[in-house]
Amino acid sequence: MDAAQEAQKREAFRQAVVNTLERRLFYIPSFKIYRGVAGLYDYGPPGCAVKANVLAFWRQHFVREESMLEIDCPCVTPEIVLKASGHVEKFTDLMVKDEKTGTCYRADHLLKDYCKDKLEKDPNLSAEKAAELKHVLAVLDDLSPEELGAKIKGYGITAPDTKNALSDPYPFNLMFQTSIGPSGLSSGYMRPETAQGIFVNFKDLYYFNGNKLPFAAAQIGQAFRNEVLYAVILIDLLHEFVHLSIRGLALILLSALLHMPDNLLKKSSLQYSRSLPRQGLLRVREFTLAEIEHFVDPEDKSHPKFSEVSKLEFFMFPREDQVSGRQARRIQIGEAVSQGIVNNETLGYFIGRVYLFLTQLGIDKDRLRFRQHLANEMAHYAADCWDAEIECSYGWIECVGIADRSAYDLRAHTAMGEKEAMELKATLEANGEAEFHVCTLDKDVTIKKNMVSISKEKRKEHQRVFTPSVIEPSFGIGRIIYCLYEHSFYTRASKDGDEQLNVFRFPPLVAPIKCTVFPLVQNQQYEEVAKKIAKSLTAVGISYKIDITGTSIGKRYARTDELGVPFAITVDSTSSVTVRERDSKHQIRVNVEEVASLVKEVTDSTTTWADVQWKYPTHSS
């Protein structure tokens, strides 16, 4: 299969997954009855359940296992905090504008697309030119606005939609800006990450931990980035422009037979119209982050539990291997630390824990690698950084970043330094009072000399003095979930071979519903047994769905396979029932009284389906 066929196959696979996800409401493009907003998605009922399961497991696997201090901070953040952290100045993308229509594009994306396109499709490209374009791709992230602008002009790159000329690149801050309070004077942003909320509370958390290091704090929450997205619209949304009510008598049908201009949508089929903007569900404007800040003595980054993960072996892609053009290779994390490939034990410990987290969720270990940041990718203050990358139809996607950020973040937040305090003291002594700006009031308050005392104390301390280092594992929950969908999806022929049926092979841990209850035929006796089983499932805490429609049992299985429900209980007698496992389709007979506790055991993985099959009689359908 050549590259083009590969790409087509990947595209077809993605379409199948995304169509299933949208049809079964795992995702819904947000506000689609109003024609949608690019980069915003709702989690529908099954997606919402999957997300809750992933977050519950994250809490158990990280927060509880390590006794982390979990906190929960607001999204609205005053400007002063994000100035200190560097986000106001540096959290920008370089953009160019279509000089006639004003449409905006990411400058680096246009240049990248140009280079890739030339390299892939231009048969007359000279070796020299090819080398140049490859070099541009390699240094893309390091180009200054001027260099980027010069390349765009030099290659004659124009706006993709209109072929109009483009403006010079200019920085666009990716934070959503807003204003706090009624005066309009107090500027704020929606946080672009949750970490800053932890850093500004470091002192209190350190105290809460008995003034001892190391300790970790954690936060799960929404973050916001006003991404510059390719202007591809979800054109199928036109279908939604019908009356929302079910009054129905004068139903307006507005169906879109889509023949959009080529430069907007390259295909004209309805199916293609379902496609999503560049990296669709992976590049969004609001998303859930789960972040850990592990504070540690910079001179002792050993970890007491490192031995618990040190034997784990998985794909790693060290910096040296990337630079010298080698492939990712399987390395034991213990080896990686002892050889100095990974900077320290604590970083290695978290890499190991992240590997366990992702694979237990159902991420395929052969499409997961830990890639070390190159020198030019890494922030200047970072000691080492590894991304957990997952391969999906979009390529290798960064889903978790695990960085040793040294002491940068804590040093950034020093609300009033020695200098400022001493100046305040001097003013108070000279004038008897001083102006003191209070953000909350949007105004200066006059402080009199007798209100405060400021002193500088020299303390002799017996302990060594240092600023803690921070190891930060940061999880993009939405990206992990999307990759999990792709890794879990497969199709298989229906019984009669007429159609391909979709299945998500979610582990019970992740599955939105753990089991279904189907009365085989519609009769009162069976429905009562079903209700009895439902009650006992609730009692043991297993989520379920009853389907009492008269639809054929095969169709009901197919419907729930598509939601990734691992077990189905079919009520086909009043004393015993059939339990079917989703992927093997094996069926066993179990007593009505036993079935709930059996499903609980296989769901909690205290027993395996293989054991269960051995213990109970097989049902031959």
Applying the rule CB under 8 A, the residues between 413 and 432 that interact with a second copy are 413-418, 421-422, 424
Structure tokens at 15: 């379409």
Q: Which residues, at least 6 apart from 572, have a Cβ–Cβ distance to it below 8 Å?
A: 520, 526, 578
**CA 52 remoteness from chain centre:** 13
Which long-range contacts (C-beta less than 8 Å, at least 24 apart) are formed by 114-118?
114/155, 114/157
- Write each residue from 393 to 412 as x if it is in contact with a second copy (CB under 8 A), else as -, in one continuous string: --------------x--xx-
What mask, x for binding a second copy by CB under 8 A, covers residues 185 to 204?
A: -x-x-x------x--xxxxx
Q: How far apart are CA 194 and CA 222, in angstroms?
A: 8
118 binds a second copy (CB under 8 A): no
- Identify residues 291-310 at the interface with a second copy (CB under 8 A): none
- Cβ closest to a second copy, residue 379 vs residue 454: 454
The footprint of a second copy on residues 434-453 (CB under 8 A) is 438-443, 445, 448, 450-453
Question: Closer CB to a second copy, residue 2 or residue 418?
Answer: 418
Decide if residue 45 touches a second copy (CB under 8 A). yes
Assign residue 102 a region (left: φ > 0; alpha: ψ between -120 and 50; beta: otherwise).
left
Does the footprint of a second copy cover residue 289 (CB under 8 A)? no
Smallest separation (angstroms) from a second copy to the CB of 587: 26
- In whole angstroms, how close is the CB of 112 to a second copy at the nearest point? 18
Which residues in 548-587 contact a second copy (CB under 8 A)? 549
Cβ neighbours for 202, distance < 8 A, ≥ 6 positions apart: 295, 410, 413, 468
**Centroid of chain to Cα 188:** 24
For residue 43, the minimal CB distance to a second copy (Å) is: 4
Contact 279, 478 (CB under 8 A): no
Q: How many residues bind a second copy (CB under 8 A)?
A: 136
Phi, psi of 257 (to 5 degrees): -95, 100
What is the spatial distance between Cα 47 and Cα 23, in angstroms, rounded to a whole number? 12
- Residue 58 within binding range of a second copy, rule CB under 8 A: no
462 binds a second copy (CB under 8 A): no
CB of 202 to a second copy, least distance (A): 6
Q: Which two tokens stand for residue 30?
A: 């947000």
Q: Is 461 in the site for a second copy (CB under 8 A)?
A: yes
Q: Is residue 385 within 8 Å of residue 401, measured between CB atoms? A: yes
Q: Binding to a second copy by residue 357, rule CB under 8 A?
A: no
Kindly state the smallest distance separating residue 353's Cβ from a second copy, in Å: 16
Query: Should residue 258 be labelled a site residue for a second copy when binding is judged by CB under 8 A?
Result: yes
Q: Residue 79 phi/psi, 5° resolution?
A: -55, -40
Question: Which residues, 60 to 89, sit near a second copy by CB under 8 A?
Answer: 64, 67, 69-78, 80-81, 84
| First and final C-alpha spacing in the chain | 40
Which one of residues 7, 8, 12, 31 is an interface residue with a second copy (CB under 8 A)? Answer: 31
